[in-house]
Amino acid sequence: MNFSKIQILGVLVFLAVVFVGVPVFIAATGRWDFYFTLTSVALLAIASAGVWLTFYIGRINIGQGAFALVGAYVSAILVVKAGWSFWISLPAAGLFAALVAVLIGLPILRLRGVYFAMITLVLTQVATLTALALPITNGAKGITNIPLPGGISIFGITLIPDFSTLENARMAFYFTAIILMIITYAALYRLVNSRLGHLCRSMQQNEELASSIGVNITYIRILIFAISSFFGGVGGAMFGSISQSVYPATFVVKDSVDFMLNCFLGGLGYVFGPMLGTLVLYFGWDLLFEFGKYQMLIYATLLILIIRFLPNGLLSLRFGKGGGK
């Protein structure tokens, strides 16, 4: 992969903003709550990246909230009830969510796209009802008092400090979430530009043609759905840790719809579209709160206008077709 000077400059500016600019701004204004807000945006962007990936193979995923909820519960159970380190429970939560996706995807990913979308629409509600019913999830009471992530040391060298010993754990969560988001989108960019990514693109354009040249479309669908759900599980696990609690209503159907809207808003044709879409949708909704009862009307109108005049999202204002890949 060859990166242009503009792309490299863009990455450097982004890193400078998130690792230097944001902490300096917060320290100057004293708005420490911004750390929690921006951490939430980063985690939602991670989950949205998974939804974008299923769009990349021509499938509409309206069930990412289910896998975020699964990840949050798995991590909480492992940490609170099994005594695992949070840092081990984090990938375990993602892998468990991916396993659930494989079990669900084996039968339904053979269906046409519209039926897959309809089934994913109910997944979040199914996950919520399951969390309410299972004893291990503690029903409606949820799991609370989740301990802050502990430290990691190797040969006496502290790689990650114990969050409970820090004066401001929110800053630590912010940096952790940003690093996870960067890793997620770097992996997503690499996947899209790999041989697997090219196969996914061929499926998006014409599955019958891709199948005729030997592409195992069912296998790729399931693999991509598993990776997508892994991102959702990791994002949910991290969200549960920063909230130090998880409930059946931590992620609901609206969250699944928002994950999808993040992709539309940023741009389905661009790897980093979900990241921008999450940022704009999160802060845009808060800004519209000032309009009171007209908030939803303005929100819906703006979304319709964007979809009508910018069908490939906000990033299409800057790039040509496919320019963000």
Per the structure block, which two tokens stand in for 296? 């939803």
pLDDT band at 113 (very low <50, low <70, confident <90, very high): low
Q: Which residues of 32-69 are buried (b: 16+ CB within 10 A; e: fewer)?
A: eebbeebbbbbbbbbbbbbbbbbbbbbbbbbbbbbbbb
Tokens 């921006």 correspond to 38
Provide the 10 A C-beta neighbour count for residue 107.
9
What are the backbone dihedrals phi and psi of residue 159, each rounded to the nearest 5 degrees, phi first?
-85, -40
- The answer to which of 52-61, 216-225, 315-324 has the lowest mean pLDDT is 315-324
Q: Could you tell me the sign of the dihedral formed by the alpha carbons of 254, 256, 262, 263, in that order?
A: negative
Assign 248 to helix, strand or coil. coil
Per the structure block, which two tokens stand in for 34? 């911004």
pLDDT one-digit tens code per residue, 223-233: 999 999 999 99
Q: What is the DSSP letter of 269?
A: T
pLDDT one-digit tens code per residue, 127-167: 999 999 999 999 999 999 999 999 888 887 888 889 989 88
Nearest alpha-carbon partner for 55 in 160, 188, 179, 242:
188
Q: What is the DSSP letter of 3?
A: -
Per the structure block, which two tokens stand in for 164? 């409970």
Assign 203 to helix, strand or coil. helix
pLDDT value at residue 3: 60
pLDDT one-digit tens code per residue, 235-248: 999 999 999 999 99
Residue 207: partners with Cβ closer than 8 Å, 6 or more residues away? 58, 217
Q: Are 121 and 104 in contact (CB under 8 A)?
A: no
> Mean pLDDT throughout 81-86?
94
Burial tier of 282 (Cβ tally within 10 Å: 0-12, 13-18, 19+): middle
Nearest alpha-carbon partner for 242 in 165, 179, 177, 167:
177
pTM here is: 0.92
Question: For residues 317 and 39, which has the higher predicted lDDT (pLDDT)?
Answer: 39
pLDDT one-digit tens code per residue, 192-207: 999 999 888 888 877 7
pLDDT value at residue 47: 96
Residue 152: partners with Cβ closer than 8 Å, 6 or more residues away? 85, 87, 158, 159, 160
Nearest alpha-carbon partner for 23 in 15, 229, 211, 231:
15
Per the structure block, which two tokens stand in for 101? 């996706």
d(C-alpha 191, C-alpha 210), whole Å:
18
pLDDT one-digit tens code per residue, 16-61: 999 999 999 999 998 888 999 999 999 999 999 999 999 998 888 9
Asked whether residue 321 carries a pLDDT value surpassing 50, the answer given is: no
